Amino acid sequence: MTAPLLSVRDLRTHFMTRAGVAKAVDGVSFDLAAGEILGLVGESGSGKSVTGFSLLGLVDPPGRIVGGSIRFQGRELVGMPPAALRALRGRHLAMVFQDPQATLNPVLTIGAQMALAVQAHERASDRAALDRAAAVLARVGIPEAARRLSAYPHEFSGGMRQRVAIATALLHGPALIVADEPTTALDVSIQAQILAKMKALAAESGTALIWISHDLATVSSLADRVLVMYAGRIVESGPVGAVLRAPLHPYTRGLLDSLPAMATPGEKLRQIPGAAPSLLALPAGCAFAPRCPRADAACAAPPPEVAQGSRRAACHHPLEAAA
Amino acid sequence: MTGPDDILVAEALTRRFDPRLTIGDRIAGALGAPVERRPLRAVTDVSFAIRRGETLGLVGESGCGKSTLGRMVAGILPQTSGRVTLDGKPVMARGRKTTTRIQTVFQDPFASLNPRRRIGETIAEGPIAHGIVTRAGAPAFIAEWLARVGLDPAVAQRFPHQFSGGQRQRVAIARALAMRPDLLVCDEPVASLDVSIQAQILNLFLELRQALGLTCLFISHDLSVVRHVADRVAIMYLGRIVEVGPAARIHAAPRHPYARALLDSVPKLRLDATSVTFRPIAGELPSPLAPPAGCAFHPRCPRASDLCRRERPDLVAGEDGAALACHHPEPAA
């Protein structure tokens, strides 16, 4: 077997706040193959976005990667000099953020900022850079792309701006795109268009994709494999269908049961009691134990890894997987 | 389409927002330059009724006018024309709300709760002002409401920032219900909450609705949430209601092509590898500043004909509180 495109081992990203050390990401490990679409799911504060930011070296103080390793195309990213990381970022490794309004420069035309992104990594004439930008905009489904190059971001709708952000990420044909809640701010009809486009683009260009989202349904419609995060750790991973059909971890089960789409209308939802723990004071053992219906004395110790084929869960009392 | 059971009736409600001209625009206008002063029609000619004890879900994408409609129903925003009545009495008169029987829960409880006031005071303020409880009885009243929404009565002295998002929404619900409303308008009450917290708040809502016999207008962009709580669902597009019907029927067999497309575009949980989980709608939402002629959905509609481009279909009432505005609806199931 060839080496994976991306290999993350025991990644730990902590935030040194005045109130103490917030362990936003605390021991995350996973592999990603070339061309694979990986869904990274969790609620607020689970560490899913910080994991994504860590991969691109975009964690700002007081946050810091305090341990672990990120190997991308055989090169170690943790501790890499900023200049080397910059040469990689945008070219081989790109990110799409939740809010395209904040990503795009409001005082530059779409064409100008995309041309800058081309020229950041390649020697290209302005004309050639703009042609490249127009071609990529057309690929993400922006009509009359060449004419729209002279438009400013505010002249675009939210969905169109997100297409521009995706087009910018695609400019150099990166091996990996990390997308952090890219459709959360969009309406459902526009979200569906972007999802369909993303899926097609990833398939035709062979780009691997890490899709970070709180929405299980969105992830399930797109990803091959899913990682479920809770309080800075991965609690369950595996092929999307298998995980959603028969989760091993009680937290994944609880998330699914919380969805109105899975319940009889008007009936009470099977809610998870309580709230996520503070990242400043995580329980010593399993972080989900205080909310877990299966928890007992054993859960005060760190949970063991349970393996079933390609599936993994970190739990003392995993649920039975259906055959 | 009104009946004897109707508690709330909205008739031909319209809300227009006229652009506010800047001083520059005025000078330019005075000098004869063309100044754009197209009004934005947020809600146009909307009529509906809510029966006593019913929850009506109101669904649509951003900019469709659902929040503007909710604010007019709640008596917070004056309408440009048309009227809203609660048991036959207008909800607003001379630009002011006339009743305390309608209360509202908003999406962002951090914005709707006074950050400098202890939540106990926030909950009791309205009821004291309207004589529902005396000042002396307030502490017990506050404790009772906090307990009803699942909070420890001891937190009455805290400020909003000391609560999580889900807890703040519980406070907002207590504040609204302490006024003993007959109608509760919920505008995206769970949109900013995490899935596990959303389930807790929806359960609380279902529980209190039953215990208090509430009538609700429940506004959300999330079709699965609305399907879960609503008896009937109204779907809005560009300022108008395009279809109304029983929640289960709308969900299973919508007749308006927009309703169909909206439902199809929501990703479903994919439990096996091959199933298709969503189907996108073509095109973008048109601007409410320049709505298309005829049926506003025609540029994106697979069933559109010349008739749709020319003539806007009226909302025609059907049986069982249903209504539909379409020249070429999908066949009834």
pLDDT in tens, B192-215: 888 888 999 999 999 999 999 999
The alpha carbon dihedral of A185, A186, A191, A194 has a sign of negative
Instruction: Pull the structure tokens for residue B247.
Output: 């929640």
* Residue-range domain boundaries for chain A: 6-92+174-314, 106-171
Q: Which pLDDT value is given to residue A2?
A: 67
Contact A275 B197 (CB under 8 A): yes
**B285–A187: do the CB atoms touch at under 8 Å?**
yes
Q: Check whether B274 has a pLDDT greater than 70.
A: no
| CATH assignment of A6-92+174-314, among 3.40.50.300, 3.40.30.10, 3.40.140.10, 2.30.110.10 | 3.40.50.300
For an interface test with A, give the residue of B62, B167, B284 to mutate (most A CBs within 10 A): B284
Say what the pLDDT of residue B278 is.
79
Chain A residue numbers touching B232 (CB-CB < 8 A): none
CA atoms within 13 A of residue B86's CA, in its CB half-sphere: 22
Q: Name the percent of chain A lying above pLDDT 90.
A: 62
Closest chain A C-alpha to B267 CA, distance in angstroms: 5
Q: With an 8 Å Cβ cutoff, are A192 and B272 in contact? A: no
Please state the φ and ψ torsions of residue A286, each to the nearest 5 degrees.
Answer: -70, 125
Question: Which segment of A58-62, A279-283, B152-156, B280-284 scores lowest on mean pLDDT?
Answer: B280-284
| Cis check: omega of the bond before A62, within 30 degrees of 0 | yes
CA distance A164 to A105: 12
Q: Which of A156, A157, A189 is the best substitution to test chain B (most B C-beta atoms within 10 A)?
A: A189
- Digit-coded pLDDT (tens) for A194-250: 888 888 888 888 899 999 999 898 898 889 999 999 999 999 999 999 999 999 999
Query: In B, which residues are within 8 Å of A263 by CB distance?
Result: 228
Residues on chain B touching A215 (C-beta within 8 angstroms):
267
Asked if the Cβ–Cβ distance from B207 to A268 is below 8 Å, we say yes
Contact predicate B45/B240, CB 8 Å: yes
Number of C-beta neighbours around residue A11 at 10 A = 24
User: A214 and B229: CB-CB below 8 Å?
Assistant: no
pLDDT at position A16 over 60: yes
How far, CA to CA in Å, does B13 sit from each of A190, A224, B7, B315?
Answer: 28, 48, 17, 14
Measured CA to CA, the distance from residue B313 to residue B241 in angstroms comes to 11
Please indicate if any CB of chain A lies within 8 Å of the CB of B290: no
- Judged by CB atoms closer than 8 Å, whether chains meet at B228 and A266 is answered as yes
Rounded-to-integer distance, Cα B333 and Cα B252, Å:
9
User: What beta strand segments (E) does B3-135 contain?
Assistant: 6-17, 40-51, 55-59, 81-86, 89-90, 92-93, 96-97, 102-105
Q: Which residues contact A121 (CB under 8 A, 6 or more apart)?
A: A87, A90, A91, A172
Radius of gyration in angstroms for the set of CA atoms belonging to chain B, rounded to a whole number: 22
Are the C-beta atoms of B12 and B6 separated by less than 8 Å?
no
CB contact under 8 A, A221 and B268: yes
Both tokens assigned to A319: 């649920």
Nearest CB partner across the interface for A241, out of B225, B265, B273: B273
Strand partners, B93: B96
Q: What is the pLDDT of residues B55-107, one digit of tens each?
A: 999 999 888 899 999 999 999 999 999 999 999 999 988 878 888 899 999 88
* CB < 8 Å to A270, chain B: 199
DSSP E strands, B87-156: 89-90, 92-93, 96-97, 102-105
- In this prediction, residue B273 carries a pLDDT of 57
* Chain B residues touching residue A279 (CB < 8 angstroms): none
Cα–Cα nearest to B241, from B303, B312, B150, B193:
B312
A113 min Cα distance to partner chain B (Å): 24
B162 CB within 8 Å of a chain A CB: no
Name which residue leads in pLDDT, B113 or B108.
B113
Please enumerate in sequence order all residues whose Cβ is within 8 A of that of B12, keeping only pairs 6 or more positions apart, or say none. B45, B46, B47, B81, B82, B83
List, as one string, the DSSP characters of B282-311: SS-PPPTTSPPSSSTTGGG-TT--HHHHH-
> How many whole angstroms separate alpha carbon B323 and alpha carbon A269?
30
Nearest CB among A216, A256, A265 relative to B227 is that of: A265
Computed on alpha carbons and rounded to an integer, the radius of gyration of chain A in Å comes to 21
Type and span of the H or E element at A251: helix A250-258
Q: Would you say A318 and A241 are in contact if contact means Cβ atoms under 8 Å apart?
A: no
The per-residue pLDDT of chain A, averaged, comes to 90
Q: Which residues of A touch B224 (CB under 8 A)?
A: 259-261
Beta bridge partners of A5: none
Question: Is B208 at the interface with chain A, CB within 8 A?
Answer: no
Report how far residue B107's alpha carbon sits from residue B148's, in angstroms, rounded to the nearest whole number.
20
B67 near A CB under 8 A = no
Which of B281-292 are b and which e, b meaning 16 or more Cβ less than 10 Å from the residue's Cβ?
beebbbebeebb
* Nearby residues of B326 by Cβ (< 8 Å), 6 or more positions away: B242, B243, B255, B256, B257, B295, B313
pLDDT at B285 over 70: yes
Instruction: For chains A and B, count residue pairs whose Cβ atoms are closer than 8 Å.
Output: 134
Work out whether strand A37-41 and strand A208-213 pair parallel, antiparallel, or are unpaired.
parallel
* Per-residue model confidence (pLDDT) at position A323: 41
Report yes or no: B211 and A277 within 8 Å, Cβ to Cβ: no
Could A241 and B221 be called an inter-chain contact, meaning their C-beta atoms sit closer than 8 Å?
no
For residue B37, pLDDT over 80 is answered with no
- Token pair of A278, please? 């503070």
Q: Is B285 on the interface with A (CB under 8 A)?
A: yes
Confirm if A261 and A217 have CB atoms less than 8 A apart. yes
Instruction: Look at A144-148, A161-165, B87-91, B279-283 and tell me which has the smallest mean pLDDT.
Output: B279-283
Neighbour tally for B75: CB within 10 Å:
24
DSSP state, residue B158: -
Residue A85: in which H helix or E strand, if any? helix A82-88
Which among B196, B202, B279 has CB closest to A192? Answer: B279
Mutate to test the interface with A, among B61, B152, B192, B196 (most CBs of A within 10 A): B196
**pLDDT in the model for residue B281:** 81
Cβ pair A244:B271 closer than 8 A: yes
How does pLDDT run across B216-240, given as a tens digit for each residue?
Answer: 999 998 899 999 999 999 999 999 9
Q: Helix or strand or coil: residue A169?
A: helix
Structure tokens at A307: 């393996």
What tokens appear for A202 in the block? Answer: 């990833």
* Closest Cα in chain A, distance from residue B194 (Å): 6
- Environment class of residue A313 by beta-carbon count within 10 Å: exposed (0-12), middle (13-18) or buried (19+)? buried
A79-105 exposure pattern, b = at least 16 Cβ within 10 A, e = fewer: ebeeeebeebbbbbbbbbbbbbbebbe
Cβ-Cβ contacts under 8 Å, A142 against chain B: none
Q: Is B229 exposed, middle or buried (0-12, 13-18, 19+ CB in 10 A)?
A: buried
CB contact under 8 A, B281 and A193: yes
Confidence class for position B276, pLDDT limits 50, 70, 90: low
CB contact (8 A) between residue B196 and residue A269: no
| pLDDT at position A121 over 50 | yes
Three-state secondary structure call for residue A224 = coil
Does A220 sit within 8 Å of B270, measured CB to CB? yes
Identify the band that residue A44 occupies on the pLDDT scale cut at 50, 70 and 90. confident
Q: With b meaning 16 or more CB within 10 Å and e meaning fewer, what string describes B5-33?
A: ebbbbbeebbbeeeeeeeeeeeeeeeeee
Which residues in chain A are closer than 8 Å to B195, comparing Cβ atoms? 43, 214, 216, 255, 258-259
Q: Give contacts of A221 with chain B, Cβ < 8 Å.
A: 267-268, 270, 277-278
B213 in the Ramachandran plot: left (φ > 0), alpha (ψ -120 to 50) or beta?
Answer: left
Instruction: Check: CB of residue A244 under 8 Å from CB of residue A256.
Output: yes
Residue B16: beta bridge partners? B41
Rounded to a whole number, what is the distance in Å from the CA of A44 to chain B's nearest CA?
7
Residue of chain A nearest B266, judged by CA positions: A188
CB-side exposure of A1: number of CA atoms within 13 Å?
A: 7
Q: Which of A196, A260, A276 has the CB atom closest to B228's CB atom?
A: A260
